[in-house]
Amino acid sequence: MQIDFNNLNINKLSFQTDFEQKTKNFLDEWFSDGNTVKVQTSGSTGTPKVFEIEKQKMVNSAVMTCNFLGLKQGDKALLCLPVEYISGKMMVVRSIERKLQLIVSEPSLKPVDHLSEEIDFCAMTPLQVENSLEQLHLIKNLIIGGATVSENLKEKIDQAAQRSQTSNRIFETYGMSETLSHIALKQLMPEPEDYFTAFENVSISTDERGCLKIFAPNVNAEVLQTNDLVEIKNEKQFRFLGRIDNVINSGGAKIFPEALEALVKKGIPNEAVFIGMEDESLGQKLILIIEGEESVSLIEKISGISFEKNFHRPKEIIFTEKIPRTPNGKVNRIELHKIISESL
């Protein structure tokens, strides 16, 4: 279904599927007299929780994104993310604020299969992008969030762009529920960038651990302390290194799994996750989990990877049919650790 926010009449719309009904429920909540709406976190780094957010701050966030991308009234957008979470809700709010035409599509691994004409804006997870490579040329402005975009996926996006000879813009996002979606973007196409650039009125710094601190008064009155280790380039740009709570301490050495995962994914197409399992001599033993069937070819490719340090090489490689993910596509490291612990 399609909702024209430039000429909105909810009563004349037909919400048929469960997802369309969830979208209507959010619209009813948004246009109610209340000043806040309820948002659920994904639970990728802890227990899922529900909290209330001021509508005006969501509008402020929407304005920053729409202005950055140059979206204008009447442009077409695609909603293909769950509306229970901030990612889906913000797609709706951006459409309301900028009076877009919003195509409502059931969240799936292939959300743009039905597209036959260009749209101006869409937000997807890396997994959705992975399964939509041949349709990416139909999206003028694509933002990818919910999880880190792997080096392997970046290469696939580049190859798809070359096949379609498109110069449409693709960005990786940085943000969280507390920042009402993203507060910074990093361009992947047509000109790839190494650093995220924070929006206007967003200030960044680090604490004594090297973790990012965010002050974005338009969306949150408090200074937000993250557990994300970063490298600050200047007052607006930073590089994400990994989450401090994911750091693996093996034999006294600190290992950042996200950096190793990016390296491994340059060489193999499979999802790859590094975890630390309890070990009497090392404290934590570095283990690499690969999604898919075990194969000699994959093991040989991993063996051929040039790791910066010898202790970066996994002590063990485990293949699993499916790596657990949260509903919005992030790898659920807590659940994965539990599954692997029970299997060893």
Q: Which residue has the higher pLDDT, 40 or 126?
A: 126
Give the pLDDT confidence score for residue 330 in this predicted structure. 76
Superfamily (CATH H level) for 247-343: ANL, C-terminal domain (3.30.300.30)
Give residue 256's region: left, alpha or beta (phi > 0; psi -120 to 50): beta
DSSP code string of 208-231: TTSEEEEE-TTT-SSPEEEEEEEE
Q: Which of 184, 21, 23, 193 is nearest to 102 (CA)?
A: 23
Over residues 42-95, the pLDDT tens digits come to 655 556 678 889 999 999 999 999 999 999 999 999 999 999 888 999 999 999
Give pLDDT, residue 341.
87
Compute the distance between CA of residue 249 and CA of residue 299 in angstroms, rounded to an integer: 24
DSSP-derived secondary structure for 6-20: TS--GGG----SHHH
Question: CA torsion angle for 143, 168, 128, 52 (degrees, to 10)?
Answer: 20
Q: Does domain 2-243 have CATH number 3.40.50.1860?
A: no
The pLDDT value recorded for residue 316 is: 93
Instruction: Report which secondary-structure segment, H or E, holds 287.
Output: strand 283-291
Would the pLDDT of 118 be above 90?
yes
Residue extent(s) of CATH 3.30.300.30 domains in the chain: 247-343
What is the reported pLDDT for 44? Answer: 52
- Rg of the Cα trace of the chain? 21
138/110 Cα distance (integer angstroms): 14
Q: Which residues contact 47 (CB under 8 A, 6 or more apart)?
A: none
The mean per-residue pLDDT over the stretch 228-237 comes to 94
Strands 196-198 and 203-206: unpaired
Distance CA 339, CA 21 (A): 34
Q: What is the DSSP letter of 59?
A: H
Cβ distance 88 to 7 under 8 Å?
A: no
**Residue 234 clears pLDDT 70, i.e. is over it:** yes
pLDDT > 90: what percent of the chain? 63
Average pLDDT in the chain = 90
Q: Report CA 138 to chain centroid distance, whole Å.
A: 20
Which one is predicted more confidently, 175 or 49?
175
For residue 47, the SS3 value is coil
Residue pair 77/121 in contact (Cβ under 8 Å)? The answer is yes
pLDDT at residue number 48: 65
Q: Give mean pLDDT, residues 194-209.
A: 93
Alpha-helical regions (H) of 37-149? 55-69, 86-98, 126-130
Strand partners, 144: 124, 172
List where CATH 3.40.50.12780 sits in the chain. Answer: 2-243
Phi and psi (nearest 5°) for 163? Answer: -65, -40
Interatomic CA distance for residues 291 and 48, integer angstroms: 25
Q: Are 157 and 126 in contact (CB under 8 A)?
A: no
Q: Residue range 204-211: average pLDDT? A: 94
Closest CA to 238 of 223, 228, 253: 228
Greatest Cα pair distance, the chain, in angstroms, is 67
pTM assigned to the model: 0.79
Question: What pLDDT is stored for residue 267 in this prediction?
Answer: 87
Span 251-302, pLDDT tens digits: 888 898 998 998 898 888 888 999 999 988 889 999 999 999 998 999 999 9
